[in-house]
Structures are given as C-alpha cells and as structure tokens.
Amino acid sequence: MTEDPDGTVRVRSKGIGVSASGSVGSVVYEDVVRRETAGWRIAYRKVIPRRTPLHP
C-alpha cells in the first residue's frame, strides 16, 4: 500500500484461480481505495493477467 501526496491510497495485491480443467492462472490487482463511513471501498480496480508462463 502507498499513499500519494494528495491522500490517494493505492493497493497492489495478487490473485490466483483454478479452472475446472485444473489449469491455474494468476492476476495482479492495482486498486485505488477510499475510506467511507462503512469502511474502505475500492474506487478503481485494474486487473492485470499473467501472460508469461512460469515454466514454458
């Protein structure tokens, strides 16, 4: 997590998924979050799929 000088909070996280066939994929999430009365909420999300296999 990082905070920009203007107070924008940016979060980077990773996700992994397994399909019904057993293949596995991963993504990186780049989020901008904001604090609201109910708690933290994602204001913007960019999903970046992994395109290069770890073991070609």
Domain boundaries, the chain: 2-49
- Quote the CA–CA distance of 8 and 32 in Å, as a whole number: 7
On whether the pTM is more than 0.75, the answer is no
- Return phi, psi of residue 5, to 5°: -55, -30
What count of Cα atoms within 13 Å lies in the side-chain half-sphere of residue 34? 7
Q: For 26-37, what is each residue's pLDDT tens digit?
A: 999 999 999 889
Angle at CA of residue 14, ends 13 and 16, nearest 5°: 155
Per residue in 1-34, pLDDT (tens digit) is 999 998 889 999 999 988 888 888 899 999 999 9
